[in-house]
């Protein structure tokens, strides 16, 4: 073998669509929330409950629309995006995580808006709460993998009772297969690459810890800041910092992956036939 098993998806060919998608996401879920809060809260005489009603409705519509579109792509007839070995009605790891994150965020926003004077600090928490939720989930799955424990439930293409894979594996599989249009062909190719390449397995394991521990650490920092500083500033911190952190982590991940994949390519070219190191 002159190189690792190929993955039928080129990120460079989708740079424009990826940039548009994330620009819209950040604009609605971060920038617009901050601009509307400060603009309406301090720049108008609008009732404070109305201010939060406006921001919540916009965010809710955007989140539900995104979830529904992804669900349609995953479950529509004649689709080829469902996890390997599952029925057409199965929701993948990412879709199920989306539901949990949406519920957590919605509860905080609703509870925070109930008092006569809205609890601004609590309503600044969805970003860090999502980091706690996602970070804990990624860390748990990765630790199950490290301990070679069997998954108690199906995780995308990993059947119940099979050994878990590093959490980042499932994020890549689901996002590229459904959101990126890679379909089941990508799921199958990713599985082949994972099983054939010890260096690829090592990369995904390290990235899983990088994202899970990073998310938990940043969530802790943001939570402390939200409850330690002026509530007016806290709102911007709570909604803005998690996105800044995610952007920085994504940039580091991109550079890291590029170097690791180049090293993997060299390893395959130089390794002796039949070599199968474990990582």
Record the tokens describing residue 228, joined without a space: 């330690």
- Give the integer Cα–Cα distance in Å for 266 and 279: 17
Nearest one of 242, 268, 263 to 130, comparing CA atoms: 242
Cα torsion 88, 94, 96, 97 to 10°: value is 180
Calculate ∠ Cα 20-25-28, nearest 5°: 120
Contact 105, 123 (CB under 8 A): no
Q: What was the pLDDT predicted at 1?
A: 57
Number of Cβ within a 10 Å radius of residue 198: 17
3-state secondary structure of 82: coil
- Give the integer Cα–Cα distance in Å for 39 and 102: 25
Q: What was the pLDDT predicted at 79?
A: 63
Record the tokens describing residue 219, joined without a space: 């969530």
Q: What was the pLDDT predicted at 28?
A: 87
3-state secondary structure of 198: helix
Question: Taking the chain (279 residues) in consecutive chunks of 10 residues, what is each chunk's mean pLDDT?
Answer: 82 78 86 90 83 88 89 75 76 88 91 90 95 96 92 88 94 90 90 95 98 98 96 94 95 95 91 54
- Give the integer Cα–Cα distance in Å for 163 and 157: 11
Q: What was the pLDDT predicted at 35?
A: 92
The phi, psi pair for 117, rounded to 5°, reads -110, 110
Query: Please, which residues bridge with residue 158 across strands?
Result: 155
């Amino acid at each position: 073998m002159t190189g690792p098993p190929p993955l039928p998806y080129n990120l460079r060919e989708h740079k424009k669509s990826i940039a548009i998608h994330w620009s819209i996401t950040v604009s609605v879920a971060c920038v617009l929330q901050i601009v509307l809060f400060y603009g309406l809260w301090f720049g108008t005489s609008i009732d404070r409950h109305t201010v939060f009603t406006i921001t919540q409705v916009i965010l809710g519509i955007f989140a539900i629309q995104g979830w529904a579109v992804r669900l349609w792509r995953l479950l529509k007839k004649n689709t080829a995006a469902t996890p390997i070995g599952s029925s057409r009605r199965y929701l993948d790891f990412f879709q199920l995580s989306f539901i949990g994150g949406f519920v957590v965020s919605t509860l905080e926003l609703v509870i925070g808006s109930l008092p006569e004077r809205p609890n601004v600090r609590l309503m600044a928490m969805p970003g860090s709460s999502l980091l706690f939720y996602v970070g804990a989930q990624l860390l748990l799955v990765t630790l199950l993998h490290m301990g070679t424990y069997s998954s108690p439930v199906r995780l995308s293409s990993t059947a119940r009772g099979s050994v878990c894979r590093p959490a980042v594996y499932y994020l890549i599989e689901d996002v590229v297969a459904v959101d990126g249009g890679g379909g089941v062909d990508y799921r199958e190719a990713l599985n082949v690459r994972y099983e054939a390449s010890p260096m690829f397995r090592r990369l995904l394991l390290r990235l899983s810890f990088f994202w899970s521990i990073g998310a938990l650490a940043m969530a802790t920092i943001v939570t402390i800041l939200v409850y330690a500083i002026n509530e007016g500033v806290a709102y911007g911190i709570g909604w803005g910092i998690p996105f800044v952190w995610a952007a920085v982590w994504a940039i580091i991940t991109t550079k890291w992956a590029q170097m690791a994949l180049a090293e993997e390519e060299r390893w395959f070219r130089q390794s002796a036939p039949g070599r199968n190191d474990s990582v």
